[in-house]
Structure formats: C-alpha cells, structure tokens
Structure 1
Amino acid sequence: MLGKVTTEVQQRWLQDSRQFAPWHYQRDAMLADDQGKLVVLTPSAKEQLHHMPKNFTAATAQGELEPRTRHRLLGNGWHWGVARRFLLASLPPTSTIQWVAALWGPAGPPMGPAPAKPTMAALQELDEEAHWQASWALEHPLAKPPPLEPAWELLLELRRRWRHDLVRIRREVLAEVHLLIDDLEEDSRTWMAARPSWIRATYSTPDKPAPTRVLAFLELLRRLGYPDLTALTEDMTDGFQMLGEIRPGPGWRRREDGKYQNPILVADLVASNADYVRRKVHTAKVGEHSEKLLLELIAEKRLGRVIGPTRPPDWLHNVRETTVADHQDVDTINEPPPGDAFLAASFPVCQTDENGELKMRRAEDWRRSGHNSTVTVADVPTHHFVASFVDLARRMAQDRRRLNAYRQWPVRRPAHCGTFLATKHGVTFWFHLAMNFGATASVWNFNRAADALQQLLRGLLLTPTGHYVDDFNGVEDLFAALGFLTKKSKAQPPADEHVVQGVTFHIDETGVTLSPTPRRVEKILAQLRRALHDDSLTPDDASRLAGRVAFLTQAVFGAVARAATKAINARAADTAAWSNDALSPGLAAALKTLVDILPTTRPRFVPFDAAQLDMAVLYADAFFTDGERRHKAGHVPDGMNPSPHQHAANGWGYVLRIGDRVFYDHGMMPPWFVKLFVFAQIIAFAAFAKLMPPTIVAFIDNTAGQAALTKGYGKDAAVNGMISAFWTLAARRGWFVEFERMPSKANVADAVSRDDFTRARREGWTRVNSRDAEVMAILAKAVGDIEFANTTAAEELILTAGSTELD
C-alpha cells in the first residue's frame, strides 16, 4: 500500500497484533460480521474467492491446520478460477460437448426457479410526505426487465455471445451424442442385462426403435456437473421409490404449507390397504369403460410395462384368479412380483384431446388405497407457466409432450404398484413396472427426471427450454437419440406463434398476445359440466381442473375467477382416504360460475416496452369509528356491529394520480360495508373505469386487503364477490395492476377519507364524483351473487363510470 496508512487503519492493524500487512485492514479489504464489526477475510472466505471447495485448506492427513497456516497457504496459492482458464486456453478442447460444458463452469447450468420479483418494500420506511414524493418517480414492474431463473439469465448471455455459431454448435453436439451412444453400446448392453426384469422391460419396449440410452444420458449429465447425479443414477438403475420419502429435486423450493409432512408408515399400509382391497374387490362392478381400461392394461402388458393378470394376494380370500380368455397373451395367470403387495382400483379419467375428441385415460386410485398417504415430500417442483415464457419472450420454441411420460421410468418395487379391475371375466389383478398415473410420487419423480432432460437441452444445445410436468419445449433430435419418446401430434416447429397449455402465445415486434384456444376452453367446460352432471368431483380431478383453470386465467386475464377456483383448490387438498366426492353447495356454485366465465375470455396483450405506457398511482383508505375509537377498514374487531346512526363515521377516500394530474374523492359507507376493506380501492377503479391508464400501482395499508386483491380472493365470501367484480373489470379494460403494501403513516389518502381536504385544495387536486351510491349497489349485488360478479358486474361498472369527468 502506497503512502501513509490512516490512523483508523493503523489502529485496526495494531489491535490484530500486526498479523497481516496494513492494507488488509483497510475498510474496503475487510468484511463485516453479524454484529457489524470489521474483520479480515477468513480462510473460508478466501477459499470461496479462490473458487476452492469449502474448507479445502482446513486439514491435512496429520490433522487440522491453524488459521494462520491456512492464510499462508492461500496467500501463496494460485486462484483456481484463473488457473483453470489458463489451462483451458492452453489446451485445445477435445470435443464440442466439453467446450460447451466449460462455458457453464464446473457446476453446470444453475438449477432453481426465478427469484421473486422486486417489491417496493423500501418505501415502507417512509412517512407520508416522503412516500408521496417517492411515488412520482415510480416505475411499474411491467416496465422493468423481469427476473428470470438463473439458468435462463446465463443462457441468454451465452446465446448473445455465440449467436453467430449456434447452428454449428448444436449440430456438432448432436453428432457427438450419437458417437457417445455408439461408444457405450457394449457397456449399455452389459448394464441392461444386469438390471432386474422390470427395469429392462421399462427401458426396452416394442414401440421404441432402441432402448433408453441410460448410460449416455447419465454421462452427459456428469459432464455438465449435474448436482443430483448420484441419486438419479440410483433411481434409474434400481427404479424410483413410489412410497415413503420421495427424493427432493435440485434447486426446488422448500414446501411451507405442511402438506405431505404427516405420512403413515409403509408398514401400517399393509393392514389398511388390505382392508381397502377386500372392500372394493367384493363390491367391484363392470362399468361403462371397463373394457377400454382392460384393453389399455393389455396394451401396457404387451409393451412390457405391466405384469398380469396375476393371482390375487394370499390374504385376499374367496377371490378366484381370473384370466382374460378372449385376448392373446393374457389368457394365463402370472405370478405377482415378490414382496408385500399393495393394490389400488383402476378407474377411468375422461378428457377431451387436442382435436376436441373425448378420450379416456386409466388411473389408479392411490388416494383411497392409502398409497399416497405414505408419501413425504419436502419441496415443490419447478414448473414453467405461460407467464414464464412471456417473461422470457423468446423468438423460437418447439413444444413437445413426452409420450406416456410417467411410463418411461421404472419403479423400484413393482409389488407396491398393483391394480385391480372388474371385467366380464371377473376381477383381474395387475402390477405396474413403470410409474403410474394417480400416484403422488410419480409427479415428483417424473419432474426430477424431466429437470435432468431439461438440463441437457439447456447445457449442451443452449436452448432456453422449460417444461410444465411432461410438456416440453426442446429439440426433438436429442430426445430421440437418448431413446425418449415424444408425442408427434404435439410437434410445433419454430414460429412466432405457439400453443402452450391451451393458450395461444403470439409474438410480434411490440409484445406478446395471449389468447385461450377454443379447444382448451371447451375441454375445461366439458370437465366442469361433467362434474355438475355427476354431482361429484374427486380430489385428483379437482387438482387437474384447478391447474388448467389457473393456467388459463393467469395467462389471459390475471386474477379473474380466482375466487371461484378457491373452492376447487379446497377439494383438491382433501386427500383423506375417506373424503366425500359429492359437490358441496359452495363447490357447485364455483363450478357454475366458471361455466359462465370461461366463454367470455378475451386475449391479453403484454407489451415489450411498457415504460412508454401511461401509469397511475393510487392511494386509498377507509375506516370505521366506534365511539372514541377509530378502526382501519379490515381491522374492525370481531363482534363489532356498527349501527346506522354511525353512518357518518364510516368513511372512505382515495387519491389517484394519472400523469401529472391528481384526483380525489371522499364518501361515507353503510355499516355493513365496513368490513369490506377493499372497497376504497375498488371505488377508485370503478369511477375511472374508462379513464384509467393500462399500468397502475395501487398502495394499500392493509395486509389482508393487499393479499386478497393480489390473489383474487380472501377468507370472506362477501369480499370475494367484490374482488371478483374488480378483476373482471380489470380484464375488460386490459389493466396491469400491482397492489403494494404501505404503512398507515404513509397513506396520503388518510386525511381525505376523514373529510380533510386541506392538502388537496392547497396543491390543486381535482375532486371527482365517483357515483359511490351506484357503485355500492353494483358491488352489493356482486357480494351476494358470485355469478354476477364474474360476468355482467364489469359492464355495469363501466356504464356507471361513463359520466366521470376530469375537468
């Protein structure tokens, strides 16, 4: 360090007994501990900066090293990252795969979801004046670059750097993949021969030109530094666990809802499953779809994914073994797999395919059988919704659905995956060798494997891929080379328009237009009407329905229909084996509401350059006075029943800035509106329904109100009607609304809500007539009629706002 050291630096140097050179004690060369005290870099911190493994210098074969020794070793050593780059620069790459893998670094493409979008939490520390002034400089979140998951962020940078050479890189990588497969051919045959029969049968099926190239798949993952390689290798070698604790996925978010955290023991399943099977088998009847279910099982057997028909378990008395005499290959009895046998009833899942035709899928009732009750999972798989692709806004995509996705991956214990089906011949028994439809474990296990496939597409071909369970966008050639089947009917070549999960995704120079496909809407409507007709909705069906509706509504019109889907989500969460599938009044009403909403869906346009759009900033407040005590809306104590004579003490107010003009209004509300804490926000949107710009930041000082408005529903059914009416209005007007939390002390609308217009008059704000009585009448009807709230309420609010004038 040149020149004299400062007194502060010298003091720190002397206090540390002159252990290092004085420059180590400069502020910009030190770290702060958790107490804010400055300390010199620890050996662990230096190891990280040198790109070394954690505690690499902590010990030798002779024992642990002193910190001073570790500092000396690190000070005399090379920076590993620099050394690695020198080595790579001096040695020509031996292959394109090796070169591409080196672009990502030793850890490969980072795994995990996108970080949370930035909030305006910093404003919560401000008082009213500072908050108001800061709001003039706000940017709407839509005007900022959206945060992407880390792998996409790095991938886009690599694509920019090598965009001129992507075609050659991909061509050479695919050629090397084929060479790798050829080189491993003999090892693959040896490896496959050593696997149990059900593993071999799953990877080598007659409908595939070649077996799944497991060794090549795992080797490519190794070259990319895939973090879950050891666990995935074991699962692909021995089969995936279907009961008990399911392995976590690399980079997945931890669960915080407590679901799947109280499993029953697998040992306890022996008795409970046997009781279930005895009860179901003795009452099983041949149904409308039984023959189709049987034909699917027979087809699966011929592909080597199912064993059957087998004799019944020994503990199932008075049930004879049954063959299928009128079908070849299934007219003899097979032995069941060894081990404790657990079985679940086969049942049909009726759906509408991409061509609008009714199709039937077979699933197993792993909920009532108790299988799913044994499962423990600690995380949530990372999925890519339409919003993910809007954020990425890429120019090329090739959407693909994996054919028979679950059934390309073997299970570890086939005896655990038994099923039975009543046929005209009698009750038949079968066992799955591959993951089956209806198992919770299949979802987690498949998504782990799908993430690994996605890792290869990103890491080796530099494609910005994602997947939603078994819906992939990717390069067909790599899937085919590795022996993974894809569904030909789902192929979409690169284009500026694609269909993603039933939503048309169209890109032009100005932005992305999202619109529901008529077939997807009809498919969801058919499922809704079928549930209403049957007066029944199972949790499994509810989970699939909620996902489809959420995917569609989030993509096309924000939080519309969220209140209606709340009841469906509640049914999906009812996983108790003894639950009733009949529709409750609330669930039936929700399904009817969705039947009315879905046909009214409209396209949604998301601009690339939202910074050029006009923006509004809204502050709103409401309160109720009980004697000498004043309560904020949403904080009225339970049991408090304001009476009509307190009408004048129940106030609301808002301050709305559009461009450089500020508008405000104030009014009273009837007593029964007091607990509807979102009214003050919604009255402003209703009053300016025809004048509000497309992007809005709305500040609210009530946490419950912010959560309810953002999610599209709250805990109170009355509030849900009002919120549903708001989001339907927002969809009609094409608004992008961000509800942000603020402290009450920063709410500039507080004074206005109390009939104090001092600041408004001083600063020249414009008072408007919000026609609150008419708006309240519409919202009152929405509170009691969720169907009205989600359909015609928006039009009535727009008509009511027709006379609002700014001047």
Structure 2
Amino acid sequence: TDPGADQTTQQQSDNDLSAKATGSQQSRRIKDLTRAFVQQLTLVHLSFFDGVGAASLALRALGVHPALTVSWETDIECINVLDEHFQPIQMGDVNDFDIEKLIDTLLDHLDPNVPITILITGGPPCPDFSGVRANPSGTAGATGHLFQKFVRVVQQIKQVLQQIPIYILVENVVPHTNVQQDILELSRQLGVDPIVVDAEDGGIIHRKRLWWLSVQWDRVKPQLVANTPWDLHWTQTDTPWPRLHNPIAKTLQPPLDTKHFTAPAITQKGGLFHCLTTPAPDESGRPAPQHCNEKPDTIHRWHTDHQRFAPWQYQQKYLVSDADGHQHLAPANMREQMMGFDGQRAANMTPDKTEYHRNKALGNTWHIPSAIWLLLLMVMDTIHTPATAISISPIQRATSIWLATSTSFGPPAKPTHHLYMPQFCWQEHIQWTQSLDTSHTPKPLDPTLEWVIQHSHLFHPLADFREQVVLEIRRLVEDMQEVTDDWLRDLPQHVQKAYTTRKQVAQVPVFTLLLRQIDYPQADILHQELSSGFRLMGQLQPGTNWYLRSDNKYLVPKTQEEFTEHNDHYVQRKLQQARVDDHCELMLEEIVQEVKDGEDERTGAAADTTQHASCTANLIITHQITSLPSPSDHTNTTPTSSYTCGDTIMTELTDSYLLTDRNRLHTPEGPTLWSHNVLLFGSSASVWGYNRFGDAMVSVSRLILLCPTMHYVDDYGSTEASHQADSGFRSFEDFNGALGYNMKTSKRQPPASSHKIQGVIISTDTNHITLTPCPQRVERDEVPDGWQPADYSSVENGWGAVIFPPGKMDRAWYFQGRLPQEILKQFSSNTAFIYLLEAWVAIIAPIVCEPILGDFYIQCCDNEA
C-alpha cells in the first residue's frame, strides 16, 4: 500500500455524512428520539466562530435541519467548508455584528407567521484562557476579548428578540486558575453555569472542555430516563464546575481509518490520544516550553518537524506508522475521526505537506459526540414533549443493562485459594480423592457467560427477544449498506474475494459497531485486522484479558532468514514425501467449493484436479507479514516459531486443527497447489488470531443475543434448557447469517442430548454429563494388526532420572535407558509412548533408588515430545 496515494472522496448529502460520522444505527436511533421532541419546531441557528460547522453537523446527526443557518466566520478555508456542506448565510466578523442586519436577514428568509426558536452556538478563541500558558490574559488578551464581545452579542439578541425562545450552546477550554474569575463573570452575564464534558468518554482522545447550555436539569432528567436508556451521571472535578459524562460517546465515535497508517500506539493499547491543538502559524515553530522533560528522541522529532506542535505530541506513543514502518504524526483525516467527523470533512481545504489548514481547524473545532449529547439534552428541554414514550430497541435494552453492570471480558480470574490435599501418605491421598465434593469449589465461568446466565430472565420471553435482535441486526445491515460498500471497495482485491460470496458480503463494519456497543476492548483493533490482516510473524496482538504465559515458549522466535530457510526445506520435504491423506477427496471438494466462494485461488490456470502441480523454490514466498489474506503465500508455515506472544490462548490446541494443512493436500494424482485468501489453520499464529475473533463473536452473542454461546477455536456451541435450546440455536445461526459469517453445513448440529465434537461423544441427561470417545477414535488409538518391528524400530525413545539424596544438594546420581521395542510397540500409536515413558520413569526411578531414599521423598516428572 502506498501511504502517499491520493484518496478519492465522494460527495454525499448531509445525512449520509452525519451517518458515517456518528455510526448509522446510533444516529438513526437518536434521530427517531429527537423527532418526537421537535415536531413542528422551526429552528434558526446562529453560529458564531463557526469553524468547519461542527454545531451544524451535530444538529443534522440529531435529524434537526434548521430553517435558516446564519454564520459568523472569517477564515476563508473554513468558509469554503461551510459552503460545501451547509450553505449558511455568511455574516463575516463577530466584531462587525449588526443586530439590525440580523433582523433583516430573518425577515427576508422566514415566514413571519411561523413561530421560531433560536439556537445560538459559539466557540470563542481559547488561547487566552488555556491552562497550557503560564500566565494567560483572559478577556484582556488579544483574542480573549472576543469571548466578552460574543457574550454582549448574545445579550443584545436576547434583549431585542425577547418574545422568541432562545437557547445557547457555547464551548471553551477549562481555564487556567489565574483567569477563572473571568470565566465566572462571563457565566454570570450569560445567565448559565458551565459544566465539564470530556471527549475521553468516546474512548479515543482527551478533550476536556467547558460547555454552557440552556438546560433545566431537573426537567431534562425525567424526560431522559423515561424515554431513553440513559441517565445523567455527574462527578466532581478539581475545578468549580462538575463533569457530566456522555453515555453515547463510544457508540458515536467513528473508528480510525488504518488503511494507510496504523492507529497510534497508545490507542492500540486502549489509551487515549492527546488533546488536539493548533499548529504553529509559521515555519519558526513553537518556542520551547520553560520546563521540558521529554526524551532526546522526542525532542529530535520535534526539531525535525520544525516545532509545529508542543514537544510532548512527538512522544512515541502518539505516532502512527506507514506500510514501510516509518513513523509520523497522525494524519489530518485520522485526527478528524478522533474528533468525531468522518475523516473527509475538511479534505478540500488548500493542501500542503503539513496539512496546516486542516490541523488548525481541527485544533479549534468541537468534539462531535460531545456536541450531539448536549444538543440532545437541549432538544429534550424544549416545550415540545413527546406524546408517547419512545421504545428502546432490543439491542439497546441488552447493552444498557450489560454496561450498567460493569462486568469484565475474558476468562475468569485465576483462583488463588488452594485445597488441602494430603501428599505424604498415599492411603490418605486416595481417601481424600474419593471423598472430594467438587460442587463446593465450582469452576469459575467466563464473566460474560455468567452474566448472560444470570440476566436472561430479564428478557422474557427469551425466544421473542432473540428474534427481535436478529431483525434489528438485519435492518442495521440494510441501513449500513453504503458504509459497508465503501469499506469493501477500499480493500485489496483478494480480500474483497474472501469477503464476498454469491449471496452476501461479510458485514465487518456492522460487526464492529456491535462490538463498540458492548464496549468490547479490541473492537477497533479487530476492525483493522479484519480489514488489513492478522499478523502471523513478529509480535502478536494479545487476546482480551487472556492469561499471561509463565514460560518462554514463544519468546525466542527464529529470525526471518532462519524461517525462510526452514520453510523452504519443509515444503520440499513434504512434496517429496507425497503422502496421500486419507481425507484428500473430501478436502479437495471443500477447497474447490471455497474457490467458488472466493476463499481460495488456484495458482496458474483454471483448477484441474487431475493434473500434477509443479512447485519450485521461487514460488515459495515467506515474507508475508499479515495474512488475512495473502494471495502470494503459497506455502503453509511450519510449527517453527516465527512470532512472539506473551499470553495464553483460552483453549488448549492440538494437532486436530491441522486438518486443513495445505502441505497435506496431495491427491492420488499428485500434489495440487492453492493460494488461500483467508487465515489458514496450519499455523499457530492463525489459530491465535481466529481465537480472538471467536472471543468477540461469542461476546456479541452473549451480551446482545442473550445466547450462552461458547467456542473452542472454530467450534461453537451452547448448553441451554430444552425449552430454550432451539431458540438459541436458530438465533445464533440467523445472527451469523445476517453478518455473512456462515458456518459449515457439515458442522451444523441442532439441539440434542448427544453430540459428537472433535471425536468425543458428549451426552447429557438430568443428572449427568458423559464423555465417550467415538468408535473411530478408539480404532485409531489401536496398534494396527500385523505391525512388524520395522514399523516402530525407528521411533526414538529414552528416559532418565536424577536423584539428590536427602539433605544433599552438592552431589547426585543419575541413570538413563531405553525401553525395549517389544514393550514400546504396545504403546506406539501417535504420541502414547510419551505418556508410557513418563509413567515408566516414575515407577522405575524410586525402585532403583530405594536403598538411598528415606521414608519421605519428593519426585518430579516431566517429558518433552
């Protein structure tokens, strides 16, 4: 990908832009909510210090289209953006405000017989109030006096138009303590006490701001509680003003575009990006702060970039990386998304390599989700009360209860208690095991699984609720079709093939929105990986709250050169072996079907399964870093570790998941060569990535669909009461179908009291759960009849023991040996002989060493296959 490639933009209507900026489903929901409050409301919007029209965009996100918008703005670049999107009547500089000119404008454009309501919005310049400055000047400053001018304009409008309802929404910085008295005086003149709202509620960026809004809180609260799933949540701050939290910020915050650049490192780890500021006005840059404790590399980047922003903005954690690994400041389109825009709001500003005009506008603009929340509260404070209460959608009903419980994701915390277990007398130990009652120490459940079990009774009748959720998801897919089409169009061609079938497109943007609604920690990271690929080499992305590993198994990977050489030898050896898999015909049929569905591609000519395939070293490409997907990755990685990770997958993985290993795709006619467009389960890193996706899938299923779904890698299932099981099965299947995540028909197992999963038959009755190996699995574990010594004579085996006498750490005895082939052949199927060796040494070691052992000894056993 060329990070410098020109981006093509598509002009859309205000509704489309606001839908993209705020999330289609949530935007639609809020529009439905506000429509009941603004019926027959004719709104006139007077926007001062208008910038790029953040207030107008927030109104349109609410579904409010003013009858007239009048704008005061002097920056020509911003005026062009306003004209492009909103076409307001331009009035120029606020210093030249003329009340008579305003009244003439209203009379010229409005019907005098239609009652109007006026909304005044404004964001006066903030530098002379900012806490960043050592001694700001407040209202006496070069730009600070404009706040006082604006307040007088508001007072004049209210005085002249006394008969008209007038509301205000004003924003500025939380001030320096030296100028707090100026802010208190301005608030007194406005007749409104400000509150603090912080963009950090959206989970992406810091932006703590003071907001003045015309709201009667005692009147808004009952309206909000009665008609929405939200409430007013206040906390105290270290300022004279309380903070109001924004419950809709996270669902309104758009994901970051990572097509050309990675997300900033700090946001990838769940942290928050710094508050945006305006760049230096010229090439001389910003002066060095009086006290600067930044690291030398940060200061170097600051100087190299001509000191455009404050030094701390050049810290490593705030940087993004391009496809070549080069680091940059976050680009303007990504900064727009941090502020809640769609990333293209100011794309047509005069371009330059530093994106000065866009960055200046973004440093001055409002955080859109914050503005939407406050405007929603103002709309609810109008005299127009809804005739009927507005119903809460099924998804919002589930997510509001989930979020209110503050339950964590991931596996349960590891138990810290220890049972008393007799260790020094084998008779006592046996007696203890026979009397142990495990019901007193039940296994802890995944918190989200426990949540759905405990709360499903709140959604009675559950079957009806699940059907309603599936219908809402299908409507959401329709509503977001344009967003999904745009997302798909930007993907590489081979990724488009992987996500497109003859019937449907995988609804990744919809899935991401659902993850965001449950506040899933890795929602944006998964969206990036599902769009551009999961890492198969290097540092792997940790799972959500997975346990940390306690060993060094994956901490010393092979180098790229070692991996390339090993992979080449591995592929050549596999081709030379030419082993025909017992399931080759079934596998070939599945692959041919996957080619039709776009998941695989036949290299070279059209797929002809009767022809031999040639494979030479120059076809083996192992430099692919991301794998969802890689049309050039013609070989499967081996069990050789070429990646590092620090956590433990939530399930134990076995070789049973290597059934789709491409290097086993030999047929009686010879090997065939295929290129996969999707993750291949032949590598542990692929399974690692899919498990993280599976965790997200079951989280949405549990918390939105109220299905107690579980998964073991790509096997999904559930245990429910018989009267609910069919509903859970059908709704989970329909949920996957709506998102285009279709399961294999061959793995479909409707509710029953007995199922075969991974070669194990699981049966249940009222009091028991019974696990039985299926006959085929038992047969495979048997040593085949007629085996000759030559069949197992090449199997290496060995055992050893080291003995430290009691109280002696400076000397030890050791011995080792091999099992005779006659004994080994009884246990030589698969890896059974490993367990034999472990048991053998555990028996033979104390027998041999009995003369030097006392009545008490400690024995430790281990093996490595």
With the shorter chain as reference, the TM-score category is: 0.3 to 0.5
Structure richer in strand, relative to its length: 1
Q: TM-score, normalised by structure 2?
A: 0.41
Q: TM-score, normalised by structure 1?
A: 0.44
- Which protein shows a greater Rg? 2
